[in-house]
Each structure stands twice: as C-alpha cells, then as structure tokens.
C-alpha cells in the first residue's frame, strides 16, 4: 500500500487536492497538480505526464488504471468558462509524474522526496541501483555543464576560450591536470568524453565544482575573462581541498569506469517492475482492477 502519512508538498497540499470518482477511488486532477509541481505551461506538464505513462507501461502496470483523459471547465475572461484537456491521476500516477518531471524545479525535487517511499518496489540488485545513480548523475552533470557555459559567457568568457575555462576547473580539482592529461593518466581514449568514464563519486565532485563556480561567478558579478578562468580553477582547488580534508580519494586516482553507454544498455535491458498491492494496482478503478 502506498503510504499516506507523509508531509504536504505545497499549499494547497497534495492531499488537499485529492478527489473521489464513481468507484470511490481517490484521484488528482492534473490541472490542479500542475502548479504544485512548478509548471506554468500545460504543454510542458503534459510532456511529463506522457513520460510517466510510458514509465507506467515499463514498470509492468496498466496505464489505463492510473491515467484517465478527461476535461475540466476553467474560468476565462469576464466570468466566462471553457473546457480544457485534463487527466484524472491515481496516487501511483502522481508518483510517476514526479519521477519524470524536470529535476531542476524545486517543486519536482521536493515531490520526489515526498514520494520516495510511496510505492512498493521490486528489490533491485546493487548493480542496477548503482547504475541508475550513475546515469542520473551523468545527466545532471551534462545539464550543469551547459548552464556553467552560459554563466561563463555572461562573465565575459569568449567562445574560443571555453576550452581553457573548463580545463581550468579540471586543473584545480585534479591537482594541475587538464582534461587531456586526466585521460592520459587514466588510459581513456582521446576521442571519449571524460565525463562518460567517471564513476558516481567522481561525477558528484565535478557537478559540485560546476554548481559552485556558476554561483560564484554570479555572486561576485565577474565580468572579466581571465578572472572567470581563475575563479573556476580556484573553486576546483577548494573542492579538492575539501575531499582531502575528509580523507577522500583524489579524483585523478579514481579508476575509470565503464562507458556510460554500457550502463544505459544494462538499465534498458533490466527494467525493474513496481509491484503494487491490489488497491494501488486498481488505481482509478478502486479496490479491483478487474471492474
């Protein structure tokens, strides 16, 4: 059974938005849930819903029991009304939407925590759990790399100097080694992306370096190319020093992991099923999915 003894995730709270259908089953309106999860555009929220429907299929559960297309009347103009598309969502569907939402949104991050223990899952092997963690970190780091590049441009770094700027961060974190030198030390082929061969620990350290550099560039209102490059290297050194203080392994000493594409293949071929009890499996149909 999916637990209901959890804190609210917004105002109004998730539980306060709950309704009941003709089967006396609980459901949530997607239109009501949309602002709670930080989406201002229905189109983008519906994209997350569609990803959740696919995830529901892959988890071994019937999407028809958890996602029901419907309509909703909304007030427009001078007291007028019109009908818009909507979905009735089971508790499990809401969980899947949170898992498939934009992780950069604070509301989604909070919702993911809210639902973290909400569904009964099939026990995953330690390898698959580690694979999922590493793949998620790789995706987050890739996104952070793009955001940092944008922050660097705003701080005065010219496009032709982006390689130098990003290498400065590596040099700070890796004891003076730039990207190509790190690959050489770890025997990683030159044509491969360094981030694709990092394990979860190394990815997390680099992600932290990037977020802290981005924040510092903005906080210090840096608008000078050389200063931005020096800042990135200094932040890398500070992250390295923190690792040393807590007794962690210097990143250049962490062996390369298998290519991230191999991890993606393994996860794709071992999709975990989510085992729901009878009531949750019924979703919008109530106690029995056979109604």
Q: Is 229 left (phi over 0), alpha (psi -120 to 50) or beta?
A: alpha
Residue 215 has pLDDT above 50, yes or no: yes
Q: What is the pLDDT of residue 115?
A: 72
pLDDT digits (tens, 9 = 90+) for 13-55: 788 899 998 888 899 999 999 999 999 999 999 999 999 999 9
Q: What is the pLDDT of residue 128?
A: 76
The residue that leads in pLDDT, 132 or 123, is 132
Per-residue CA distances from 31 to 22, 25, 40, 88, 277 (Å): 19, 18, 11, 9, 27
What is the distance in angstroms between the CA of the first residue and the CA of the last residue of the chain?
19
Q: What is the pLDDT of residue 116?
A: 60
* DSSP-assigned states of every residue in 35-96: HHTT-S-HHHHHHHHHHHHHHHHHTT--GGGTEEEEEEEEEETTTEEEEEEEEEE-HHHHHH
Q: What is the pLDDT of residue 169?
A: 97
Closest CA relative to residue 283, chosen from 53, 84, 123: 53
Helix (H, G, I), strand (E, B) or coil at 185: helix
> What are the φ/ψ torsions at residue 190 (nearest 5 degrees)?
-60, -30
CA 93 to chain centroid, in Å, comes to 17
Residue 83 has pLDDT above 90, yes or no: no
Residue 103 near residue 142, CB atoms below 8 Å: no
pLDDT digits (tens, 9 = 90+) for 140-159: 999 999 999 999 999 999 99
Query: What letter does residue 275 receive in the DSSP assignment?
Result: -
- Which of the four pLDDT bands, split at 50, 70 and 90, describes residue 10? very low
Residue 138 has pLDDT above 80, yes or no: yes
- Which of the four pLDDT bands, split at 50, 70 and 90, describes residue 117? very low
* Mean pLDDT for the chain overall: 85
Q: List the structure tokens of 87.
A: 């979905």
Q: What is the pLDDT of residue 23?
A: 85
Query: What letter does residue 177 receive in the DSSP assignment?
Result: -
Residue 240 near residue 173, CB atoms below 8 Å: yes
To which H or E segment does residue 27 belong? strand 26-29
Q: What is the pLDDT of residue 6?
A: 38
Helix (H, G, I), strand (E, B) or coil at 1: coil
> pLDDT above 70 covers what percent of the chain?
83
Q: What is the pLDDT of residue 280?
A: 64
| Rounded Cα–Cα distance for residues 179 and 195 (Å) | 10
Residue 284 near residue 22, CB atoms below 8 Å: no
Q: What is the pLDDT of residue 107?
A: 87
């Amino acid at each position: 059974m999916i637990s209901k003894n959890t804190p609210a995730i917004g105002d109004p709270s998730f539980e306060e938005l709950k309704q009941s259908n003709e089967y006396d089953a609980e459901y949530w309106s997607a239109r009501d849930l949309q602002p709670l999860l930080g989406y201002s555009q229905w189109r983008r929220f519906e994209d997350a819903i569609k990803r959740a429907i696919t995830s529901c299929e892959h988890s071994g559960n019937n999407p028809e029991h958890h996602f029901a297309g419907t309509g909703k009347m909304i007030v427009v103009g001078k007291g007028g009304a019109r009908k818009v598309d909507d979905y009735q969502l089971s508790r499990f569907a809401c969980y899947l939407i949170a898992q498939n939402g934009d992780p950069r949104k604070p509301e989604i991050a909070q919702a993911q925590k809210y639902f973290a223990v909400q569904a009964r899952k099939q026990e995953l092997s330690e390898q698959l759990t580690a694979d999922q963690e590493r793949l998620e970190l790789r995706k987050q780091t890739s996104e952070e790399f793009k955001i940092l590049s944008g922050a660097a441009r705003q701080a005065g770094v010219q496009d032709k100097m982006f390689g130098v700027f990003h290498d400065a961060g590596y040099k700070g974190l890796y004891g003076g080694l730039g990207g190509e030198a790190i690959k050489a030390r770890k025997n990683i082929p030159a044509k491969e992306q360094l981030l694709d061969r990092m394990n979860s620990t190394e990815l997390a350290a680099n992600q932290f370096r990037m977020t802290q550099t981005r924040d510092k560039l903005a906080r210090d209102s840096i608008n000078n190319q050389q200063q931005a490059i020096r800042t990135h290297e200094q932040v890398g050194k500070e992250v390295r020093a923190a690792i040393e203080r807590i007794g962690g392994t210097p990143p250049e000493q962490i062996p390369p992991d298998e290519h991230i594409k191999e991890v993606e293949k393994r996860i794709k071929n071992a999709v975990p099923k989510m085992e729901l009890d009878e009531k949750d499996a019924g979703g919008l149909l109530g106690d029995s999915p056979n109604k």
